[in-house]
Structure 1
Amino acid sequence: MARAPDPRIEQAKAMYLKGIKLVEIANQLNLPEGTVRRWKCTHKWDSERSDKKSERSHKKGPPKGSKNALGNKGGAAPEQNKNAEKYGFFSKYLPEETVSIIQEMPTDPLDILWDQVQIAYAAIIRAQSIMYVKDRDDVTTTRIGHKDGDTVTEERWEVQQAWDKQGNFLQAQARAQKTLEGLIKQYDELLHKRWDLASEEQKARIAQLRAQTDKLTGNNQELEDMDGIEGDIYGGSK
C-alpha cells in the first residue's frame, strides 16, 4: 500500500512560493534542509514560481506621480540591494531556473560538501532496487537490433545472466562506495579544520552518517528493507 504524501510538502511549497528561503522553511517545519531541497526539485516548485513572476511582470507600473523612485536615480534598485550585483552576471547568461538554483545553494563549504555526500549516498541506496538480482535464474533478455531484409529478418539480442548482472552491480557499488568514503573523509578533515566555526548540526552529521553507512554495509543489520535508511537520508517519510 502506497504511503500518503507528507502534508508538510504542501506547507513547504506554499512558503517557498511566498519567497521564503529553503533554510528558513526547514527551520520552521523542523526539517533537514536537504529534505526541503529534494521536495523543491522533485515537485518542480520553480516552474510555478516562474509562472507567478511572469504574471507579475505583465502588470502595469506604478501610477503617475508615484513617489516610489524618489531619491533613486533612474528608478534603479536601491544601492543596498545587492541582488543585481551578486547575480546580475548569471541572470544575463543563464536560464531563470538555473539562477534560482544558484540563489538557493549553500555557501558554507561544509554544507556544500555535505550535499555531495548525501547525493552520493542516495545514489547508492537507489541502486539497490534498480540493480537487484533475484536469484541465479534471474536472466534479462533485451532486443538490441532489428533489420528487415528482402529475404531475411535479422534480430540481435543481448542476454545478461544473473552472475553477469551481479558482477556488474558489485563493481559499480564498490566504485560508488569508494567515492562516498572519499567525500566523508574530506568532510571530516574540513570539519576539524573549521571546528570552532562549525555549527552543532555540522559536527553531528559525521556520527549520524557513520551509523547510516553501517546499515548500508550490513555491519548492524540485514539490508532487506530500504525504507528506514531512505528515511534517515531524506529526514522523513517519502
Structure 2
Amino acid sequence: MTWVDDNKDKAYRDYQRGMKYKDIAEKYGVSLNTVKSWKKRYGWTREKGAHKTKGVHTKGAPIGNKNAAGHGPPKGNQNAIVHGFFSKYIPQETLEIMGMLDEKSPADLIWDQIIIQYAAIIRAQQIMFVTDKNEMIKEIKKEKETWGENSRGSETEWEFQFAWDRQATFLNAQSRAMSELRSLIKQFNELAHEDDERRLKLEQMQLNIDKTKAKIKEITNESNPDDRTIIINNEDEMRRILNERNQNNRPD
C-alpha cells in the first residue's frame, strides 16, 4: 500500500467519525482540495449521527519562545500549507505525487535519479548497438520530381550513416550521460549517511562507469577523425564511396 492509499484510508475513517475537511487536511499534510477530491472520487459517506469533531487547541509555548527553533513543525503541518498553495495551480495527480515525495529525503531523491540515469545508459547500449563495422543505414533525405518538355523524372537524395557514424554519436552521448551520473553520485555521497547500504552499490556502479569511460576513450582514439555522415545524390556515387571505404579498411 502506498503512502497516499494508507493515509487516504485513515482520512476516510476520520471523515466517517465527523472530522472536518480542514482538520483532515492538516492531520495528513495534504491540501483541502485533495481531501474534497478523495470524498468525490471514492464516494465517501458519513455514518448517520456522526458529530463533527472540533479541532483541539493544545497549549503552546509563550510568545517569543525559541525552544523549537531549527526543529520545524510536526510532520504534515507545513505540508498542508505548501500543498494548499500549490493546489491552486497544479493538477490533482501531481499533488498526490508530491504527497508521496514528502516522505523522501534529498538523498532518496538523488538516488532515484541515479537509478534512472544508470538504466538509461544501459538501455542505450541496446538501442545504438552496431552489428559490425560494415553496417550501413540508408534513408531518403529529399525527393522531388523533374519535368522536361517531353519527359518526366524524379530525383532522390539519400543519406547514408555508416557504423562508425553511429558509434561516434553513441560514444559522445554515453560520455555526457556518465558525466551526469558521476555528478549525481558525488551529490549522493555528500548527503547520505556513512552507514547507508546504498553506498556499496554505488562503489560497484562507479567501477563500471570508470571501466566504460576508459573503453570509450580507447575507441575514440582509434577512430578515424575524418569519419562523418555523407550526403549522396545517386547510386553510382554510393558505390564509389563504399569501394573507397572498403579499400581503406583492408589490412596491409
What code does the residue aligned with 1:19 have?
Answer: D
CA distance in 1: counterparts of 2:177 and 2:121, whole angstroms: 7
Does residue 85 of structure 2 align to residue 109 of structure 1? Answer: no
What code does the residue aligned with 2:107 have?
Answer: L
Give runs of aligned pairs for residues 60-139 of structure 1, distance below 5 A.
Answer: 61-62=45-46, 65-67=49-51, 69-71=52-54, 82=77, 84-105=80-101, 106-139=103-136
CA deviation vs aligned residue, 1:73-132 (integer Å, no higher than 9, x gap): xxxxxxx97464341222221122211221122541211222222222111111111111
What is aligned with 2:43? 59
Identity of aligned residues (%): 36
Q: Residues 142 and 121 of structure 1: is their aligned pair in 2 closer, same or farther, counting only changes over 3 Å? A: same
How far 1:142 moved relative to its partner?
2.3
Give runs of aligned pairs for residues 85-234 of structure 1, distance below 5 A.
Answer: 85-105=81-101, 106-147=103-144, 151-191=152-192, 198=193, 200=195, 202=196, 204-215=197-208, 217-218=210-211
Structure 2 residue matching 1:94: 3-state secondary structure = coil
Structure 1 residue matching 2:130: 3-state secondary structure = coil
Give the greater-gyration-radius structure (CA).
2
How far 1:144 moved relative to its partner?
4.0
Higher relative contact order (CA 8 A, sep 6+): 1
Unaligned runs of 5+ in 1: 1-14, 22-52, 73-79, 192-197, 223-238
CA distance in 1: counterparts of 2:155 and 2:50, whole angstroms: 76
What code does the residue aligned with 1:181 have?
Answer: R
Structure 1 residue matching 2:158: 3-state secondary structure = strand
What is aligned with 2:227? none
CA distance in 2: counterparts of 1:56 and 1:137, whole angstroms: 62
Aligned residues of 2:139 and 2:160 also touching (Cα < 8 A): yes
CA distance in 2: counterparts of 1:158 and 1:187, whole angstroms: 44
Unaligned runs of 5+ in 2: 8-36, 56-74, 216-252
CA distance in 2: counterparts of 1:18 and 1:119, whole angstroms: 23
Structure 2 residue matching 1:142: 3-state secondary structure = strand
